[in-house]
Amino acid sequence: MKRTLYTEDHEIYRQTVQEFLEREIVPHKDRWDDEGMIDRGVYGSAAQTGLHALAVPEEYGGAGERDFRYRLVVCEEIGRINALSFGLTLSVQDDLVLAYLADLTNNEQRKRWLPGFASGQLLGALAMTEPGAGSDLRGICTSARRDGNSWVINGQKTFISNGISADLIVLAACTDPDAGSRGFSLFVVERDTPGFDRGCRLDKIGLSGQDTAELFFGDARVPAENLLGEEGRGLQYLMSHLPRERLGITAMAIGSARAIFDATLEYCKQRSAFGRPISDFQNTRFELATMATELDLAETYVDASVRAYNEGTLSPVDAAKGKWWITELQRRVIDRCLQLHGGYGFMREYPVGRAFVDSRVQTIYGGTTEIMKDLIGRDLTR
């Protein structure tokens, strides 16, 4: 099925993305996974080439481009080279941290932080999750109290993507425990903040090149001018930015699933068993037909979601539908593709094996499948 989402400009951009990935990412991605960290200099190159921080306004060094179709192109091409650790790091920057900094900062804050983001010199992280608070944001216990010209922060965050490498942490904290949903605020915690410490890099089963860590705040003093947006509106800000975060996860999921399917289709044509290609067996054809149909239908929903986001009409519920359905589809497709590879699929040298472990978390972070279904169900029955 021919997609109509992209224009000629997007396809020209795709060529630029492909050239960059082949030159800067493909030769290093396996080493990054083995070492547990991506070379920091690659983000400057990505920004210079236009893969990163496109939405930063021109006056701060960016392109001022908010068309999400360009992000989708990047996700698709990263999926084709199976560099999901690098893809997640870019997603944290463009779909999470940058969205908050672009929307909530004042002029002084923009001058301080956006040029560094536009150049790839500053990396960010979003710190919401705690040991006792994941999808339930109202369970956040990290506290912030005003003390003169500072906020004093105490608490702990966990499972924070880019937790080791980040220069700026967008942090959610409770500023008034008696104010209910109006008792949370957002802060930007900078790298050398006194009282801010990072734990060890967490040992994940997948996405090995993408650093994830615990963060600790013990009387950490954050300047008052690092309050992001208005005090007491933190929960509202988090909820309003979830559609972009979940669309970013959806984009990475469909890009990876399509790429692994395409590679598996070629494998089935070339791999022989009992004297003929395994693509000649009816069961193989049935599996390929099922996956091809599901992916075509899913891409239709993704395309509609991207158009809605660009128009400012993508709802949290519609973003949640795409997030849970397409990440679960990604999981099913990659699992089936691994099965079709047989024993070779279990080898790290084959893309499907790496994608199998790297993609599993997609149904968890950004809101679990179960939370997405509950959100949708509550909207239907309220």
The answer to whether the pTM exceeds 0.85 is yes
Give pLDDT, residue 240: 93
Residues 65, 114 within the same domain: yes
Q: Are residues 256 and 277 in the same domain?
A: yes
Residue at 313 is within a domain: yes
Shared domain for 156 and 243, answered yes or no, is no
Both 130 and 113 in a single domain?
no
Given 122, 155, 178, the domain boundary residue is: 122
Q: What one-character-per-residue DSSP string does 286-337 give?
A: HHHHHHHHHHHHHHHHHHHHHHHHHHT---HHHHHHHHHHHHHHHHHHHHHH
DSSP letter for 279, please: G
- 118 and 131 together in one domain: no
List the CATH number of the domain containing 22. Answer: 1.10.540.10
pLDDT at 132: 81
Question: Residue 150 contacts by C-beta under 8 Å, 6 or more apart in sequence?
Answer: 221, 222, 223, 224
Reported as a single tens digit per residue, the pLDDT across 61-93 is 999 999 999 999 999 999 999 999 999 999 999
Domain presence at residue 1: no
240 lies in the same domain as 367: yes
Average pLDDT over residues 365-370: 94
Instruction: Flag whether 228 is in a domain.
Output: yes
135 and 45 in a single domain? The answer is: no
User: 215, 232, 249 — which closes off a domain?
Assistant: 232
pLDDT single digits (tens) 17-35: 999 999 999 999 999 999 9
Whether 330 has a pLDDT exceeding 70, the answer reads yes
Which residue of the set 76, 214, 245, 287 is catalytic? 245
Q: In the chain, how many domains are there?
A: 3
Q: Which domain CATH number covers 372?
A: 1.20.140.10
Q: Are 142 and 174 in contact (CB under 8 A)?
A: yes
**pLDDT tens by residue, 97-139:** 999 999 999 999 999 999 999 999 999 999 999 988 767 777 8
**Mean of the pLDDT values across residues 304-329?**
97
d(CA 245, CA 92): 8
**Confidence label for 214 from pLDDT (cuts 50, 70 and 90):** very high
Is the residue at 314 inside a domain? Answer: yes
Same domain assignment for residues 372 and 242: yes
Query: 14 and 116: one domain?
Result: yes
Q: Is 294 a catalytic residue?
A: no
Residue 361 domain-assigned (yes or no): yes
Question: Both 36 and 164 in a single domain?
Answer: no
Mean pLDDT of 301-328: 98
Domain end: 122, 139, 156, which one? Answer: 122
pLDDT class of 200 with cuts at 50, 70, 90: confident
pLDDT level of residue 1 (50, 70, 90 thresholds): low
Range(s) of the domain holding residue 146: 125-232
Q: In the predicted model, is pLDDT for residue 287 greater than 80?
A: yes
Q: Going along the chain, which residue ranges are E strands?
A: 124-127, 143-147, 150-161, 168-174, 184-190, 196-201, 212-223, 227-228, 272-273, 276-277
Mean residue pLDDT of the chain comes to 95
Cβ contacts of 77 within 8 Å, gap of 6 or more: 14, 17, 18, 21, 255
- Residue 99 CA to residue 104 CA, distance in Å, equals 8
Do 186 and 243 lie in one domain? The reply is: no
* Same domain? 134 vs 94: no
Is residue 3 a part of any domain in this protein? Answer: no
- CATH number for the domain harbouring residue 202: 2.40.110.10
What integer is the mean pLDDT of 317-333?
A: 98
pLDDT of residue 258: 98
